[in-house]
Amino acid sequence: MRKIRVAISGYGNIGKFAAEAVLASPDMELAGIIRRGGESLPELYYTKVASDITELGKVDVALLCSPTKNVKELALKYLSMGVSTVDSFDKHASIYDLKTELDAAAKKNNAVSVISAGWDPGSDSVVRALFEAMAPRGVTHTNFGPGMSMGHTVVVKAIDGVADALSVTIPKGEGLHRRMVYVCPEAGYDRAELTKKIKEDPGFINDETHVVFTDDVAALADRGHGVKLIRKGVSGKTDNQLFELDMKMHNPALTSQIMASCARAALKQRPGAYTMIEIPVIDLLPGDKEDIIRKLV
């Protein structure tokens, strides 16, 4: 069987681990890495590095390993070429609007777009849906951390006057969180003004946020993260059903693995855009469907 040819667009935190996930997948091959300038990568000397996807030959799926703010533009570009895409877009409130726009582009070009394919949104979304099916009435709390939030860190780094930054999420329980933001400011910038900009950003304004200034953000960096999903609800007419998912993970490695699994699933769907809760779980796995059923059911 021909292997799925996967291209990786971007080679930052996610891209590096996405390459590892693709190379470790028995049914995939790495078509190449797309990065600005197309500079070679010493650790991947055997993999083609290009400045544009057209330099990589046949590509089935592109993993968009870029910040959320760049996802729509990249997805529309690749979908217009008939290349399916997988991204880890993480702005929960904007997911449906993105899905609607990419759905039209994907269908027009006979391609598939899997959006928000990380662990939250993504695999956690699937668990939340399953928990709700198990207890249709009730309340679900998602508690993140403690650990580095890649999305929030990117937001802070983009603020004018920030030389380097790290945003750490601390769970307070019942879905409430504290954001600890460590910032190395550029020379000449007012710290009080930077603190104000961070706390008023939409990504932080609804959470308790503390800004701490430091000269060495790298000394604080830890890509580990965690999540605890808790649902307490009712099955039929029976109360006090309590379900929990508790995970500790390496943030970019897990995100990348889920994206690679969704690349496999993308080729099993009809043209259009999908979130992970719309994709059969079995489509994420390699191998013969009958064998998977015998093994896991």
pLDDT higher than threshold 80 for residue 140 = yes
| Residue 46 counted as domain residue | yes
Reading the block at residue 222, the tokens are 């830890």
> Are 51 and 95 contained in the same domain?
yes
* pLDDT for the residue numbered 259: 98
Confidence of residue 248 (pLDDT cuts 50, 70, 90): very high
Distance CA 179, CA 130 (A): 29
Task: Pick the last residue of a domain from 235, 262, 285.
Answer: 235
| Residue 244 counted as domain residue | no
| Residue 89 counted as domain residue | yes
Residue 135: Cβ within 10 Å count: 21
Degrees, nearest 5: CA angle 46-49-53: 130
Confidence of residue 44 (pLDDT cuts 50, 70, 90): confident
Distance CA 120, CA 118 (A): 6
| Residue 228 counted as domain residue | yes
> Are 10 and 116 contained in the same domain?
yes
* pLDDT for the residue numbered 51: 93
Determine the residue type at 222: D
pLDDT higher than threshold 90 for residue 124 = yes
pLDDT higher than threshold 80 for residue 1 = no
> Are 107 and 205 contained in the same domain?
no
Q: What is the CATH number of the domain that holds 230?
A: 3.30.360.10
> Are 116 and 148 contained in the same domain?
no
> Are 143 and 207 contained in the same domain?
yes
21-32: pLDDT as tens digits: 999 999 999 999
> Are 161 and 88 contained in the same domain?
no
Confidence of residue 224 (pLDDT cuts 50, 70, 90): very high
Cβ atoms of 6 and 31 closer than 8 Å: yes
> Are 110 and 56 contained in the same domain?
yes
Domain tally for the chain?
2
* pLDDT for the residue numbered 101: 97
| Residue 68 counted as domain residue | yes
| Residue 128 counted as domain residue | no
> What number is the average pLDDT over the span 183-206?
95
> Are 118 and 141 contained in the same domain?
no
68-115: pLDDT as tens digits: 999 999 999 999 999 999 999 999 999 999 999 999 999 999 999 999
| Residue 132 counted as domain residue | no
Residue with tokens 């935190």: 13
> Are 14 and 111 contained in the same domain?
yes
Strands (DSSP E) found in the chain: 4-9, 28-34, 49-50, 61-64, 84-87, 112-114, 137-144, 147-148, 162-173, 176-185, 208-213, 224-235, 238-250, 272-274
> Are 220 and 292 contained in the same domain?
no
> Are 37 and 84 contained in the same domain?
yes
| Residue 189 counted as domain residue | yes
Q: What is the CATH number of the domain that holds 15?
A: 3.40.50.720
Handedness of CA 243, 248, 251, 256 (dihedral sign): negative
> Are 255 and 110 contained in the same domain?
yes
Distance CA 186, CA 184 (A): 7
pLDDT higher than threshold 90 for residue 43 = no
* pLDDT for the residue numbered 127: 98
* pLDDT for the residue numbered 111: 98
Q: Which helix (H) or strand (E) holds 259?
A: helix 251-266
Reading the block at residue 166, the tokens are 């790290």
Would strands 162-173 and 147-148 be described as parallel, antiparallel, or unpaired?
Answer: antiparallel
Cβ atoms of 32 and 55 closer than 8 Å: yes
Domain that holds residue 266: 4-122+251-296
125-138: pLDDT as tens digits: 999 999 999 999 99
